[in-house]
Amino acid sequence: MNILGIETSCDETGIAIYHPQHGLLAHQLHSQIDLHQQYGGVVPELASRDHIKHLSPLIQSTLEESKLTLKHLDGIAYTRGPGLIGSLLVGSSFAKALAYGLQIPSIGIHHMEGHLLAPMLEDNKPTFPFIALLVSGGHTQLVHVKKLGHYHILGESLDDAAGEAFDKISSLLSLPYPGGPQIEQLAKTGRFKQFIFPRPMIDRPGLDMSFSGLKTYVQNTVYDLLPHQRQNEQTRADIALAFEEAVTDTLTIKTKRALQQTGLKQLVLAGGVGANKRLRKKLNHLLQQEKGQLYCPKHEFCTDNGAMIAYAGYCRLARKQYDNSIDCEPLSRWPLNKLT
Amino acid sequence: MKTFIAIETTDSLCSVALLHQDNILTLQEQTHQKHNQKLMSLIHQILTESAVNAHAIDAIIFGKGPGSFTGARIAAATAQGLATAWQRPVIPVSSLEALAQQAVRSHQAKKIISAIDARMHEIYWAAFAYDEVTQHLTSLKPEILSSPHQLNHILSTDQWFGIGTGWNYHEQLPILPKTFDAQAKPLAQDMIQLAISSQYPLLEPHQALPTYIRNNIAQPKQQ
């Protein structure tokens, strides 16, 4: 069974082919970072324009890489949502037409389900049930994953996603988009405790989070600096480190609570912010304390990719848990706990 | 005899047509901004009702715009998907030219200005002449994006037939065409007619791309 995965929910065109016995046969990615960098963030219309230009050639090269042809495909999995509606429409319309033309099933995948299943592509993989910490530019959620399609959201950010906060602080520090890797790089030369930023909502019960107030706190700190301090490389690095510390501490504290509350010992870390080394290190330490195990997808599958969509597509096709309607209805908003 | 399927979704109509055994079958629905929810069903319906096997299709024609960016991409992405699966070429057709063809078909127009509302007080427009001998449309003025006022000069030169939603700006114009139809939307059946006349090349599936004309989308960030 060969499943083609198509991911176009934001600013990466990702294509992959997954086979249950042979694993990932091929995967390719076209990133739009260069396109959006000059605008300081993703421009939705430009993202859609770029997806439609690169989708077909990328599918062709993925097929070549896998040494398969279209007739070897058994299903087309595509990201149905959530995400930018224009970008989703490109991938969904293409996927539906391709599946119709080949007379094989099309499987609409929830983007975050793709992320939380991404560690299953690794040799060392978790088993159900587990806790997933999903952290990206659009989401920050702690999810109790009972089994495929059974997701209970334990807590989430009530305002900005953690990745969004990284992007905004990166912009504040005049670093290019996307902010995550830039802040991480700058923080390497930062000195601890030169600045102390709040760890939002840790004194409140529950697992919800908030990053908007932290972002404003950092902004005010920067605005209060004298111009020469603001431009000082060491000061900027100290701020980057203090911000990274605040975000990763908050996520770690909330994750610890989720593990203790549920009694689960397996944690999946996924989404773009999951690539952050400081976060991985802290969570690894936490799981050692809790006598559990941390599972992360490899770096390239933390950010958006077609492999996780192809894999999720296989899981749903094998269990016949998918909507095979002929028409295409992408969903820009789609709560994870609405899945079955 | 060629068998073509055509899809058009750049305006409020989701329009599908099939050329088979010299007959053109059409299906259309007023879907506004929900073409994606209807397009594949209409394609399936037209193939089923006409009992045409997908393998008999020689090419996939689609409305490439200008018009709704999203609409043009739905048509282009669907055309790419079908053409890839069926291993057939695509034929992108201009929505302005399809409107001109509609003016010829419905109103026997000879000199036509097609205009589509581009929002922001602008229109996409182009001018065409229809030659009754060759039965071809020729371009008199290539597709551009401008304010409706830029029609003034060309309107003063001849007796024109106006077609398309751009003519809803008619109240702003001192000179009007002899007749105009501001309700007309591009239709897949006219795209088939244009494709038969072989003015459009057959392209590879990945070349099924929209024409936007408006390309100034965002301002780079000020440092």
Beta-carbon contacts of A180 under 8 Å, excluding residues fewer than 6 positions away, are A163, A166, A167, A170, A272, A273, A275, A276
Residues of chain A with C-beta less than 8 angstroms from the C-beta of B74: 89, 93
Cross-chain Cβ contact A56/B84 below 8 Å? yes
**Of B127, B39, B177, nearest in space to A93 by CA:** B39
User: Nearest residue on chain B to A55, judged by CA atoms?
Assistant: B206
Residues of chain B with C-beta less than 8 angstroms from the C-beta of A99: 81, 85
What's the whole-number average pLDDT of chain A? 96
Residues of chain B with C-beta less than 8 angstroms from the C-beta of A97: 40, 77-82, 85
Same domain? For B88 and B101 the reply is: no
Cross-chain Cβ contact B81/A95 below 8 Å? yes
What pLDDT sits at residue A336? 93
Residue B171 domain-assigned (yes or no): yes
CA distance B138 to B129: 5
In three-state form (DSSP H/G/I as H, E/B as E, the rest C), the secondary structure along B126-189 is: EEEEEECCCCEEEEEEEEEEECHHHHHHHHCCCCCEEECHHHHHHHHCCCCCCEEECCCCCCHH
Same domain? For B19 and B29 the reply is: yes
Same domain? For B88 and B29 the reply is: yes
What pLDDT sits at residue B182? 97
Distance from CA of B70 to the nearest CA of A (A): 6
Same domain? For B145 and B195 the reply is: no
- Give the confidence band of A10 by pLDDT, cuts at 50, 70, 90: very high
Q: Please write the tens of the pLDDT for every residue from A40-77.
A: 889 999 999 999 999 999 999 999 999 999 999 999 99
- Give the confidence band of A193 by pLDDT, cuts at 50, 70, 90: very high
Same domain? For B105 and B163 the reply is: yes
- Domain range for B121 is 96-181
Distance from CA of A86 to the nearest CA of B (A): 6
Distance from CA of residue A258 to its chain's centroid?
19
3 state SS of B103: helix
Distance from CA of A312 to the nearest CA of B (A): 21
Q: How many CB atoms lie within 10 A of CB B120?
A: 8
3 state SS of A175: coil
3 state SS of A270: strand
A79 has a chain B CB within 8 A of its CB: no
Low-confidence ranges of chain B (pLDDT < 50): none
Residue A192 confidence (pLDDT) above 80: yes
Same domain? For B16 and B65 the reply is: yes
Residue B222 domain-assigned (yes or no): no
Residues of chain B with C-beta less than 8 angstroms from the C-beta of A38: 220-221
CA distance B93 to A98: 21
Cross-chain Cβ contact A86/B70 below 8 Å? yes
The single-letter code of the amino acid at A254 is: K
Distance from CA of B15 to the nearest CA of A (A): 15
In three-state form (DSSP H/G/I as H, E/B as E, the rest C), the secondary structure along A303-339 is: CCCHHHHHHHHHHHHHCCCCCCCCCCCCCCCCCHHHC
CA distances from A237 to A229, A242, B122, B143 (A): 11, 9, 48, 52
Residue A329 confidence (pLDDT) above 70: yes
CA angle B132, B137, B142 (to 5 degrees): 150
Residues of chain A with C-beta less than 8 angstroms from the C-beta of B205: 56
Nearest to B81 among A46, A86, A94 (CB): A94
Under 8 Å between Cβ of B211 and B143: yes
ipTM: 0.97
Is the overall model pTM greater than 0.90, yes or no?
Answer: yes
Same domain? For B16 and B121 the reply is: no
User: Nearest residue on chain A to B34, judged by CA atoms?
Assistant: A329
Please state the domain count of chain B.
2
Same domain? For B11 and B79 the reply is: yes
Residue B141 domain-assigned (yes or no): yes
What pLDDT sits at residue B223? 57
Residue given tokens 């099309």 in the structure block? A106
Residues of chain A with C-beta less than 8 angstroms from the C-beta of B217: 43, 45-46
Q: Please write the tens of the pLDDT for every residue from A69-112.
A: 999 999 999 999 999 999 999 999 999 999 999 999 999 999 99
Q: How many CB atoms lie within 10 A of CB A321?
A: 13
**Of A333, A307, A306, A315, nearest in space to A91 by CA:** A306
